[in-house]
Amino acid sequence: MPIDFVSAFQRPRMGSMKSMLSERCHCPLCLLFRQVGLRLLYQPVGLRPGRHPAYFLNDDDPILMGVVKSPRRFWHSMKVSWTSGVLNAVHNDEVIYLPPLRPASNYPVVQGFGGGCYALDFAAPVGTPVFAARDGVVIDTKDDGQLGGASKRFAKHANFVAILHDDGTTGEYYHLKYKGVVVTREQKVKAGELIGYSGNTGFSSLPHLHFAVYTAKYEGKYMSVPFALKNEPN
């Protein structure tokens, strides 16, 4: 997910610099730091070489990462990964989602809930309009993927839209067509609003839309949660 991180350094005392981290796209993130081979002078947040999965970036709140002598050495030693959304968000089960394809009866579900995975795959011709199933804010998109196939090696090519809901969960719409996204990051959308067009990109064996709702977990992981779709007349 192409989040733009912004680093800043302040000088709290002679010979050292305080490292701060924030991000450009205002959406909640759970960060995982991996730091190798660099000893911090001072550890106000308890950072030590290793993995640090419990830090959060919300809107404009920067994270104090430590105080070092050399910013360049610090960043050369630091790897950052993240999970978008609110950690361990509790899904509002009273929400009934609109079908992301309309009319729903025209697009059969070819794979449903099962095996602990809560997602729906709707068979749909390439170019079928895709609509937001729930109100939210667009937190990520990709539309430059041109490849697809029935192998995991194609997964990185999947085009998608991710929308943050008001309960901290995210709705994700996958396998959109090349240049088939019509919304932008930080855009507010309403349920039923056009967000893109279906396709066959990424790890996909047939043209379809993959829709799922997730809650963020530690270390860049997600957990899908069950959801209900509104029954609409044909």
- How confident is the prediction along the chain (234 residues), in pLDDT tens digits per residue? 444 544 544 444 444 555 555 555 555 655 555 554 444 433 444 444 444 444 555 555 555 555 655 656 555 556 656 667 777 789 999 999 999 999 999 999 999 998 779 999 999 999 999 999 999 999 889 999 999 999 999 999 999 999 999 998 999 999 999 999 999 988 999 999 999 999 999 999 999 999 999 998 766 678 999 999 998 755
Give residue 231's pLDDT: 84
**pTM of this prediction?**
0.75
Q: Please give the DSSP secondary-structure letter assigned to residue 156.
A: G
- In this structure, are strands 194-198 and 208-216 parallel, antiparallel, or unpaired? unpaired
Give residue 55's pLDDT: 52
What is the spatial distance between Cα 140 and Cα 25, in angstroms, rounded to a whole number? 9
Task: Give the residue ranges of DSSP H helices in the chain.
Answer: 71-76
Give residue 170's pLDDT: 93
Residues contacting residue 225 through CB under 8 Å, at least 6 positions apart: 91, 118, 169, 213, 214, 215
Half-sphere exposure of residue 154, counting CA atoms within 13 Å on the CB side? 18
In the chain, count of helices (H) and strands (E)? 1, 20
CA distances from 107 to 59, 79, 122, 199 (A): 38, 42, 6, 13
Structure tokens belonging to residue 143: 């539309």
